[in-house]
Amino acid sequence: MTSPSLKPLTSAGDDGLAALRKAPGDAVLGLDFDGTLAPIVEDPAQARAHPAAAPALARLAPLVGVIAIVTGRPAAVAVEHGGLEGVDGIVVLGQYGLERWEGGELTVPEPPPGVAEVRAKLPALLAAAGAPEGTHVEDKGHALAVHTRRCAEPQVALDRLRGVLEALAERTGLQAEPGRYVLELRPSGMDKGVALRGLLAERARPGFPSVVLYAGDDLGDLAAYAAIDELRAQGVPGVKVCSGSTEVTALAEQADLVVDGPAGVVELLDRLAAMLV
């Protein structure tokens, strides 16, 4: 699984890295947070970026056009848990792009009414569905995530709850977003592909982007991969990096480069910085 060097698996990935070398100032690097910059842990509140992640991002930021952290987490949580407060040149697109943090400024819209309805109904619904011990609700303000990682059989627990959660999402006008032993009920209309395309559009200028590299680990990152595929079809090079795990294999199947979890992602960021100085 691990690629010990910067050698991608695909020729499209090779083209992307060549474009990065040639025009780094117009390059866009997108990175997911949980499972990509931050090792997966049982309690979402305890997740923190790999200790070498923020220093690697700080080295890379002045060398490229923009670095975006594109995450399902609230933007402020990703900044705090990522140690990103002091890192210049980073944009954090939180809650799948609904929220934004840049230069110390946080923009958070009002959540749609369905979120409050889900918050009110979820405890009784989980109890009625026989949610196994260890089921945990993470309230993210704009979304509620039902986690089963701490259950004795996480996948069995998630499969048991999936139907009622998807039905609740439909009734409340929300979207059910699956992830690593989690199912989130979140506002629809946004995803990581929409977030990435929006960032590119607002900075549009001749020659930009020279390349878009995106690293992710989970199903929610497939929308960003799809955005890269679209860009490639329009002639813009792209590199799809997978932070590999045994829990989700869908990204590895599409990736140009598979690295070994957050430690591998940080190593990649260091190698990119060394390549560009």
Ligand X SMILES: O=P(O)(O)OC[C@H]1O[C@H](O[C@H]2O[C@H](CO)[C@@H](O)[C@H](O)[C@H]2O)[C@H](O)[C@@H](O)[C@@H]1O
Site string for ligand X, 55-94 (x = CB under 6 A): ----------------xxx---------------------
Q: Which residues pair with 183 in a beta bridge?
A: 146, 178
- The reply to whether 223 sits near ligand X by the rule CB under 6 A is no
Half-sphere exposure of 229 (CA within 13 A, CB side): 9
Number of residues assigned to the chain? 277
Q: Of 8, 16, 24, 35, which one interacts with ligand X (CB under 6 A)?
A: 35
| Binds ligand X (CB under 6 A): choice among 180, 196, 225, 243 | 180
Give dist(CA 225, CA 263) in Å, integer: 21
Sketch the per residue contact string, 91 through 120, with ligand X: x for CB under 6 A, - otherwise.
------------------------------
Which one of 14, 138, 166, 270 is in contact with ligand X (CB under 6 A)? 138
Q: Which of 131, 145, 151, 222: binder of ligand X (CB under 6 A)?
A: 145
Pair 162, 183: CB distance under 8 Å? yes
Nearest to 142 by CA among 97, 207, 179, 182: 97
For residue 191, state whether it binds ligand X (rule: CB under 6 A): no
Q: Are 67 and 90 in contact (CB under 8 A)?
A: yes
Rg, Å, the chain Cα set: 18
Q: Which residues bind ligand X (CB under 6 A)?
A: 32-35, 40-42, 44, 47, 71-73, 138, 140, 145, 147, 149, 179-182, 184, 218, 220
